[in-house]
Amino acid sequence: MLEPSVSPPEFVSSCWLLRSRRSPAKARRVLSRLLDSTPSGELFADSGLLVVSELVTNAVAHGTPIGNRLWLSLSLSPSRLRIEVHDARRDRAPLLRSTSVDDESGRGLLLVNLLSERWGCCPRLPIGKIVWSEIGCAASSFTPVERVA
């Protein structure tokens, strides 16, 4: 007789965010509450807080027309944190670009790319897009770097 497979618990949280410069801070608070209420949530805190802040900042600045809100969806399992930011603009996909040392902005997606195991963008029906990131826990994804003096 086959035993039913037991998958690890997944914890979720979601909310609407205004098109406001205060929304990245609210998104960090929502993620912090989820991580604080979850066993081993602290393993995702450093990368997760930075990535959620960057994705929401980009959605506010580039992906959410005036008068629209964005949707934040978070899901956490023992091995990964998934962050989704839904906005109303399908015509403006995130663009990973190179920056110079003199640029004052434009590094957000570079950080998302470096901290995420995977990230991307897909259409959201009936309108808009979803920009998402999956982050592995710090304990399993940390690789020490040998420094040469």
For the stretch 101-132, pLDDT in tens is 666 666 789 999 999 999 999 999 888 999 99
Q: Average pLDDT of the chain?
A: 86
Phi-psi domain of 26 (left: phi exceeds 0; alpha: psi -120 through 50; beta: other): alpha
C-beta separation of 131 from 121 below 8 A: yes
Q: What is the pTM of this model?
A: 0.84
